Amino acid sequence: MILVCGGAGYIGSHAVKQLLDCNYKVLVIDNLSTGYKENIDSRALFYNVDIRDFKELDNIFKMHKIDAVLHFAANSIVSESVKDPYKYYENNVLGSLNLLKCMKNNNILKIVFSSTAAVYGNPKRVPIEETDETIPTNPYGETKLAIEKILKWFDNAYNIKYISLRYFNVAGADKSANIGEMHNPETHLIPLVIKTALGEREYMYIFGDDYNTFDGTCIRDYIHVTDLVDAHILALEKLLNNSESNIYNLGYGEGFSVKQIIERVSYVTNSNIKVKIEKRRDGDPDILIANPNKAINDLRFKPKYNDLDYIIKSAFNWHKKFI
Ligand code: UFG
């Protein structure tokens, strides 16, 4: 049985569905603080538990035969982490430490961990390789890097094997359009542009058009959530086959600017999007692009949806359901 922590969230719920489709038995825990119960596939077992609650977590570990853990449970809004670092250190670092303590006590020795490109901070070069410098520029990235370091020492001391996956910009939705991205408040670019296209917002605000890029707006590497989750399943299978611990970037190795995203959303949704230029958002690097070769070579990661229009269309099909 696979334990998915944070299985009611955007990425976690896609993982639950895809694991079930691959015939894994899935156990979900989530405190529903940012996730939604309706996101959880009905074929999975669900416990409304907070990973910071050691007793409850330990009970679950004792009640079920868990083979490995996929750990998505975290807060992940960069700006919020700057305003409230305590919340991020407590939920992300302390919560993960608690989960790892349960794993150690119950001899569960395999974990796939959700990390982030935010561990790199302002990269000195793109595309970014896993061995490049990690100097986070916000508490969110710091918490994820701290957990990566904890994982390294827990492997060394307790033989817990981990694969840490550093996500670039995750977007899109499952092809069923039954699950998708829904944050409250929404801060991410693609859902916000779609909401503007659907008339839920009057303007799309571009945070800065004076970056050092070809059109002045930030460039990011957008990866479809289904591909991202496929890579998790490959990582899980690698761990189940007794691989060593490792760290991988997950992106496509290709970047799009904020203006390009708005233009493609406008095209795909056939709508006119009104744009206003705002000042820069704190801590946004000019360009973040992954070098995905390590995942392609080691995990045999084969992206199926490396197509910006498809990413947008799948997200649009999901958002359309709520108007
Ligand atoms: N942006 C706008 N207007 C908006 C929202 C976003 O111009 O209304 C811009 C941002 O300034 C940025 C780009 O769109 O340049 C992408 O922004 P997102 O908020 O969608 O994503 P980020 O790149 O900031 O963050 C993502 C993840 C984080 C992770 C980070 C790693 O959401 O969890 O990548 O760098 F930490």
CB of 209 closer than 6 angstroms to any ligand 1 atom: no
Give the pLDDT band of residue 282 (cuts 50, 70, 90). confident
Q: Please give the distance, rounded to the nearest whole angstrom, from the Cα atom of residue 101 to the centre of ligand 1.
A: 33
pLDDT at 29: 98
- pLDDT at residue 323 tops 80: no
State how far the Cα of 171 lies from the Cα of 114, in Å rounded to an integer: 15
State how far the Cα of 8 lies from the Cα of 200, in Å rounded to an integer: 25
CB of 284 closer than 6 angstroms to any ligand 1 atom: yes
Burial (CB < 10 A; 0-12, 13-18, 19+), residue 129, is: middle
CA distances from 19 to 13, 16, 28, 51, 117 (A): 10, 5, 11, 21, 24
State how far the Cα of 74 lies from the Cα of 195, in Å rounded to an integer: 25
Tell me what the mean pLDDT of segment 179-188 comes to: 93
CA distances from 263 to 126, 159, 242, 253, 318 (A): 24, 49, 45, 20, 19
pLDDT at 307: 98
Residue with the smallest CA separation from ligand 1 atom 29 is: 118
Q: 213: which 2 tokens? A: 């890029």
**How does DSSP assign 175-206, residue by residue?**
TTSSS----SS---HHHHHHHHHTTSSS-EEE
- pLDDT at residue 248 tops 80: yes
pLDDT at 84: 96
CB of 140 closer than 6 angstroms to any ligand 1 atom: yes
pLDDT at 322: 84
By most ligand atoms within 8 Å of CB, the mutation choice from 34, 77, 78, 288 for ligand 1 is 78
Give the pLDDT band of residue 283 (cuts 50, 70, 90). confident
Give the pLDDT band of residue 267 (cuts 50, 70, 90). very high
Per-residue pLDDT of 47-103, as tens digits, reads 999 999 999 999 999 999 999 999 999 999 999 999 999 999 999 999 999 999 999
Q: Please give the distance, rounded to the nearest whole angstrom, from the Cα atom of residue 216 to the centre of ligand 1.
A: 15
Per-residue pLDDT of 100-138, as tens digits, reads 999 999 999 999 999 999 999 999 999 999 999 999 999
pTM of the model: 0.98
pLDDT at 156: 98
Tell me what the mean pLDDT of segment 1-25 comes to: 98
Catalytic residues: 140
Return mean pLDDT, the chain: 97
Phi, psi of 46 (to 5 degrees): -130, 135
Side chain identity, residue 296: I
CB of 186 closer than 6 angstroms to any ligand 1 atom: no
- Measured over the CA atoms of residue 227, residue 133, residue 51 and residue 103, the dihedral's sign is positive
Residue with the smallest CA separation from ligand 1 atom 19 is: 188
121 torsion bin: left (phi>0), alpha (psi -120 to 50), beta (else): left
Tell me what the mean pLDDT of segment 260-268 comes to: 98
State how far the Cα of 301 lies from the Cα of 16, in Å rounded to an integer: 19
- pLDDT at residue 2 tops 80: yes
State how far the Cα of 308 lies from the Cα of 288, in Å rounded to an integer: 16
